[in-house]
Amino acid sequence: MELAPKLSHTAAMILQAIDAGNRYGLSIMEMAGLPSGTVYPALRRLERDRLVVSHWETAKAAEKEGRPARKFYRLTTAGQEALAASRRRYPHLAGLFVRTEATR
Amino acid sequence: MRQRAVRIAFVWLSWLVLSLASTIVPRGLRAEWLAEWRGELAYLRAGNDGGSSRVLTFAWGSLPDAVTLWRIQPKEDCCDWDQAFRSPLRCLGWMSGLAWVALVAWGAGNDHAFSASHDALPHWIMVCLGFLAAFVRNPAIIAGPLSTAVHIRHRVVALVFLFCKTVLAIGIAGLLTAIVLRPLSSGTVQAHAFLLPYLFACRWSILDQAKRCPICLCQVGNPVQIGSRPTALVDGYEMEYMCRRGHGLLYESLFEGAFCSRRWTPLDQSWKDLFIKGS
């Protein structure tokens, strides 16, 4: 029998925020209403557990808009499964954040 | 004007916090970590929402983040103290430095702890007793099946290294004990109290030797447990260590009372591409 991954409420909120289209740290913080000291360590742990993966946007794309390059996060397949399990565990999680289009 | 000064102070403080936190982050990840935090700080400053204090509050978050990164990284990548004793020359260098510091500290006080009373055992006897006790517990370091798998030249170098290391360890243990025991007045108690530190020093030296490659004398790493206790008699139950320079694999039995407690499997030149040069 496969065990469903169990996440803390904070980690589940962060996964939900990423799934809703908030792909970088600051945006996740603003959406989840959590401080940086909670969001970034949680992102490191989620990345270690391969629930999220990160990648840098190309320098060219950032320069074009005259801003520093950003590190984006996205859910892996395991992350999607963990989020689905968390939604069953925390029923109100799915309605927390409104899905946004792409990144700012 | 004052508002601008306050804003600059907050930005400067946030950069200071970030720089301090970056020292905790493992070296290999530091540049990327700093780039991410500096980028986010730049966005926050540009947004200018919530005032300057928000920039500082945000920067404080870098400290728990740095600690988390440090905690979740494999220790091998970030522990510099472990590396100090990894190579034999570094090990002897560090121990010589420690012995010199202990000697200076001991010489600073008017100490006669080494002049044992007539009732006490001489120091050289206590050293021999300590070494014998440590050696009996783990004799395979010098004798045993491991020694036959290694060329005599390497065995001699290993013995010289073990001797130098043990002498330095005993010296450090003796000097530190003398410093600690200064307030005691009884000479006999002082002299006999050296036996235990000598035993610990010898035991550490021998156990450290057990975790070194018999060829290059560097500490072996990447421990992997093979087998389990219930299957010890069928499949074996041992720990495999790898020489970081690719000289071979060291197997140490985890089964108490095993006849052959350690064995060495040399790796030939065909394996060398798997290992980093000079690591």
Helices (H) and strands (E) in chain A, counts: 5, 2
Q: What is the chain A residue with the closest CA to B65?
A: A41
Q: Per-residue pLDDT tens for B51-62?
A: 677 888 888 999
Q: Say which of B38, B42, B60 has its CB closest to residue A37.
A: B60
Higher pLDDT pick, B184 / B27:
B27
Query: For B50-78, what is the mean pLDDT?
Result: 78
Q: Output the pLDDT for position B240.
A: 85
Q: Output the pLDDT for position A14.
A: 92
pLDDT higher than threshold 50 for residue B30: yes
Contact criterion met (CB below 8 Å) for B84 and B38: no
Residues 1-60 of B with CB under 8 A from A: 32, 35-36, 38-40, 42-44, 46, 57-60
Minimum mean pLDDT range among A78-92, B97-111, B114-128, B195-209: B114-128
Q: Per-residue pLDDT tens for B205-223?
A: 888 888 888 888 888 887 7
Place of tokens 């968390």: A86
* Residue B152: both structure tokens together: 């005599």
Q: Output the pLDDT for position A99.
A: 61
Residues in chain A: 104
Place of tokens 């040069």: B277
Percent of chain B with pLDDT over 90: 4
Q: Are A25 and B40 inside 8 Å of each other by CB?
A: yes
**DSSP per residue, B3-64:** HHHHHHHHHHHHHHHHHHHHTTS-HHHHHHHHHHHHHHHHHHHHHT-S-HHHHHHHHHTHHH
Q: Are A69 and B35 inside 8 Å of each other by CB?
A: yes
pLDDT higher than threshold 80 for residue A4: no
pLDDT higher than threshold 70 for residue B273: no
A-B interface: how many C-beta pairs under 8 angstroms? 56
Compute the distance between CA of residue B204 and CA of residue B201 in angstroms, rounded to an integer. 5
pTM: 0.50
The distance of B111 to chain A (nearest Cα, Å) reads 52
Q: Are A67 and B42 inside 8 Å of each other by CB?
A: yes
